[in-house]
């Protein structure tokens, strides 16, 4: 199946909004094994939009459109599709009730121009919008498909997962499942070398991606049934985990702070932190992590002048944070924030401190620009903390 | 002039990379008064890329391409342009020296496949890449223009500002200058109302944008000479500033933390902070701001449990941070980080503390999701600090 994406909206062509729908949809299509050959953006102009849609319709089996489903005169996606297919729009009574209900739940009357959101064409099935007033359309005609969804990413993604993805899975006649394993502490080249035997496999496939949170491995299995695909996926995951062992710290949507935070709370340990190089980013990462709520007691942010740099400084910072906040564990990152020309590039020291034990170490070389170095140092500190907790007697 | 953007690269169609070049270029073209009607993305496939380029060439006066200028076999932008125009590529001796010099500065020999980066066609002028090995091309033929630039956003933007923008300005035969004034503390509707007389003006134009750092006003003036456009811009800026007064906190690339940090350092005042609601984001914002380096002494991050919420708590936090770090001023933000159902939505208190004076206030209602509320609260605290410093005897 050959797919094509059209994002519509003059605001995109004025640079006022960054299109995040295309990368989302592109990733989803890739995971489904559907080839995406083109994507394009067009403004709210009937003639140009119609031209882009006609071309897509002629060269692709599946056209996915986002945007242009609002109630204003500039929202023309429905009219463009109807015009291209030579069909007439009509108001659907059930859809009209849905749109009216959306407003009445908010104690409002439906503005008259919202009526266009309740229209369909004969080839279209409306897709319910759980997060807004604009229903999408699933259009099937002459063996080809047009899907149109609202532009706001949250509405679009909700509709995609609930209504579009299941239909596409059914069309493809196969179940495709994928799982992403996340690693830390190995270079892309090393991971590549270790899993070489599996990289050539056609099903399940295995692909590597370098990400700020480490090297990710995506396993994708395709089979006739969900059970079969799931079993293939699980088997390959087991083999890959066996090779990479504790370098795998999580899977899929897991975050390193979430994984380490959960470990901490499960062990009923509380944490305080002190940081210089990372300037508050470690604290703000932990504050924003639900898994660590209640176990994170607080943080101190120092400037490098005040903290110094080295194993001893880091250890003193960790201890001092632990004592100031009355936590079980203190974790510290000491280092240079700015690209200080006088400093050895990327010096960073990590320390953990408990009443009866403390450890510290220099973090490995930190390549990249400052923001990337900071996020890598935080990941390194979190892994250091994980290993420390796991080494404690249960 | 009708423009069109083509971004090339299979990674874009796999959803592995988000295209940030299109919004950047779209915004730049809008500021130049050049109409952008289409943008599209195509993979590293000669036939499909050639088709997209031919269509763009036929319907647009200016085609801007990013990506596909690397040394690999998948990098085909030069070949696609040459093929479409029916021209032959040849190695340019000067370009070859430039690419070789890039490698020799790093103590490396140029790999053989990088030679393609030193090629041009008769209609092309090479554009120097100050940040990488891939030169761009400026192609003029039959009254139309193709510009091709590297895909990495930093390289592309550098080349755009240095080589493409000046050429396009010259082509347009007019000088367009713009300036963005940044405000805080007024709603979009209020700003709109206050500057209504200027919103209808055709030259200079005035446009409003709601941004996380407040309502921005972009003034754009068009004239035959730079001096004339500059004078028009300055006059309108003066009129707008006269209306909005101290609500305007900066212009163009200025950041609120930079503006307030500079004020602080200019007055030779040092700062320490304490924060609960914002969980470390205030500290990390200040740590990453060059203007405040040397004046920012450190920060404390508390959980809401430990800090409580209210004017008194905020004042105590500000004082305690000031004393712990020996700073001239303490600044505190106290409030709820999570969407705590038991708490009044978005309660936040700001306090500043000096030896002889302290002030605190409840921050105004904070709409939006948690990350947006956090950034708004930080902006509010920075404005509060600015007003405090400005009220001090000089």
Q: pLDDT tens-digit profile of A82-130?
A: 999 999 999 999 999 988 988 888 788 888 888 999 999 999 999 999 8
Same domain, yes or no: B84 and B164: yes
Q: Is the CB of B48 less than 8 angstroms away from the CB of A38?
A: yes
The total number of structural domains in chain A stands at 3
Contacts of A38 in chain B (CB under 8 A): 13, 40-42, 48, 52
Three-state secondary-structure class, residue B169:
helix
Helix (H), strand (E), coil (C) string for A327-344: CCEEEEEEECCCCCCCCC
Of B213, B228, B251, the domain-final residue: B251
Of A125, A152, A172, the domain-final residue: A172
What's the confidence (pLDDT) of residue B369? 67
Same domain, yes or no: B279 and B167: no
- Please enumerate in sequence order all residues whose Cβ is within 8 A of that of B126, keeping only pairs 6 or more positions apart, or say none: B92, B95, B120, B135, B136, B137
What's the confidence (pLDDT) of residue A214? 86
Same domain, yes or no: A226 and A294: no
Option in B27, B299, B303 nearest A15 (CB): B27
Going by C-alpha positions, the residue among A101, A87, A172 that lies closest to residue A137 is A87
What's the confidence (pLDDT) of residue A345? 53
CATH number at residue B84: 3.40.980.10
Q: Is the CB of A280 less than 8 angstroms away from the CB of B293?
A: no
Mean pLDDT in chain A? 91
B23, closest residue in chain A (CA to CA): A15
Option in B23, B42, B338 nearest A38 (CB): B42
What's the confidence (pLDDT) of residue B368? 62
Instruction: Pick the range with the lowest mean pLDDT from A340-349, A378-387, B104-113.
Output: A340-349
Contacts of A337 in chain B (CB under 8 A): 287-288
How many whole angstroms separate alpha carbon B133 and alpha carbon B113? 12
pLDDT digits (tens, 9 = 90+) for A276-317: 989 999 999 999 899 998 899 999 999 876 667 788 899 999
How many whole angstroms separate alpha carbon A297 and alpha carbon A286? 10
Same domain, yes or no: B354 and B315: yes
Asked if pLDDT for residue A271 goes beyond 70, the answer is yes
CA distance B91 to chain A (A): 31
Q: How confident is the model at residue A368 (pLDDT cuts 50, 70, 90)?
A: low
Q: Is the CB of B26 less than 8 angstroms away from the CB of A43?
A: no
What's the confidence (pLDDT) of residue A73? 82
What's the confidence (pLDDT) of residue A305? 67
Same domain, yes or no: A15 and A146: yes
Phi, psi of A373 (to 5 degrees): -60, -40
How many whole angstroms separate alpha carbon B275 and alpha carbon A18? 32
CATH number at residue B226: 3.30.70.2860
Range of the domain at B165: 2-172
What's the confidence (pLDDT) of residue B366? 61
Same domain, yes or no: A270 and A330: yes
The answer to whether the complex's ipTM is over 0.90 is no
Q: How confident is the model at residue A208 (pLDDT cuts 50, 70, 90)?
A: confident
Same domain, yes or no: B22 and B100: yes
Asked if pLDDT for residue A339 goes beyond 60, the answer is no
Q: Is the CB of B18 less than 8 angstroms away from the CB of A18?
A: yes
Candidates A8, A188, A283, A289: best to mutate against B (most CBs of B within 10 A) is: A283
Q: How confident is the model at residue A365 (pLDDT cuts 50, 70, 90)?
A: low
What's the confidence (pLDDT) of residue B339? 53
Going by C-alpha positions, the residue among A175, A381, A196, A139 that lies closest to residue A281 is A381
Of B140, B172, B204, the domain-final residue: B172
CA distance B340 to chain A (A): 12
Same domain, yes or no: B146 and B49: yes
Candidates B24, B287, B323: best to mutate against A (most CBs of A within 10 A) is: B287
Phi, psi of A60 (to 5 degrees): -130, 155
CA distance A354 to chain B (A): 20
Same domain, yes or no: B93 and B165: yes
Instruction: Pick the range with the lowest mean pLDDT from A28-42, A341-355, B5-19.
Output: A341-355
Asked if pLDDT for residue A246 goes beyond 80, the answer is yes
Q: Is the CB of A36 less than 8 angstroms away from the CB of B25?
A: no
Asked if pLDDT for residue A176 goes beyond 90, the answer is no
Same domain, yes or no: B217 and B347: no
Same domain, yes or no: B65 and B201: no
How many whole angstroms separate alpha carbon A163 and alpha carbon B296? 51
Contacts of B279 in chain A (CB under 8 A): 283-284, 286-288
Q: Is the CB of A303 less than 8 angstroms away from the CB of B296?
A: yes
CA distances to B12, B252, B274, B283, B388 from B354, in Å: 52, 32, 14, 19, 10
What's the confidence (pLDDT) of residue B319? 98
Same domain, yes or no: A236 and A247: yes
- Please enumerate in sequence order all residues whose Cβ is within 8 A of that of A110, keeping only pairs 6 or more positions apart, or say none: A99, A100, A102, A103, A104
Residues of chain B with pLDDT under 70: 305-307, 336-346, 365-369
How many whole angstroms separate alpha carbon A318 and alpha carbon A276? 11
Option in B22, B37, B280 nearest A287 (CB): B280
């Amino acid at each position: 199946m050959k797919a094509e994406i059209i994002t519509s909206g003059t605001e995109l062509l004025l640079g006022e909004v960054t299109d995040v729908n295309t990368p989302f949809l592109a990733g989803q299509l890739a995971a489904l094994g559907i080839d995406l050959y083109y994507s394009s953006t067009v403004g709210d102009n009937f003639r140009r939009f119609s031209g882009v849609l006609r071309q897509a319709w002629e060269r692709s089996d599946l056209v996915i459109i986002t945007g242009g489903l609002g109630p204003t005169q500039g929202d023309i996606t429905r009219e463009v599709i109807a015009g291209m297919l030579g069909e007439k729009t009509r108001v659907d009574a059930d859809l009209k009730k849905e749109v009216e209900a959306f407003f009445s739940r908010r104690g409002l009357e439906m503005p008259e121009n919202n009526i266009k959101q309740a229209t369909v064409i004969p080839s279209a099935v409306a897709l319910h919008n759980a997060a807004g007033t604009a229903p999408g359309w699933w259009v099937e005609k002459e063996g080809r498909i047009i899907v149109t969804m609202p532009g706001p990413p949250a509405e679009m993604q909700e509709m995609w997962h609930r209504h579009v993805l299941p239909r596409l899975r059914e069309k493809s006649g196969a179940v495709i499942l994928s799982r992403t394993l996340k690693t830390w502490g190995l270079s892309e080249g090393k991971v590549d070398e270790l899993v070489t035997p599996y990289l050539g496999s056609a099903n399940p496939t295995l692909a590597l991606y370098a990400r700020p949170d480490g090297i990710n491995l995506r396993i994708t299995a395709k089979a006739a049934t969900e059970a079969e695909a799931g079993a293939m996926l699980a088997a390959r995951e087991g083999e890959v985990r066996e090779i990479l062992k504790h370098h795998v710290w999580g899977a899929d949507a897991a975050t390193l702070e979430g994984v380490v935070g959960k470990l901490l709370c499960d062990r009923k340990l509380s944490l305080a932190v002190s940081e210089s190089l990372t300037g508050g980013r470690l604290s703000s990462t932990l504050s924003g992590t639900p898994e660590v709520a209640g176990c994170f007691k607080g943080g101190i942010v120092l400037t490098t002048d005040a903290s110094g740099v080295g194993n001893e400084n880091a250890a003193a910072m960790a201890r001092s944070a632990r004592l100031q906040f009355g936590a079980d564990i203190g974790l510290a990152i000491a280092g240079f924030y700015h690209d200080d020309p006088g400093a050895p590039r990327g010096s960073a020291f990590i320390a953990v401190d408990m009443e009866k034990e403390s450890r510290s170490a220099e973090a490995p070389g930190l390549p990249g620009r400052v923001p990337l170095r900071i996020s890598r140092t935080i990941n390194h500190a979190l892994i250091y903390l994980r290993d420390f907790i796991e080494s404690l007697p249960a």
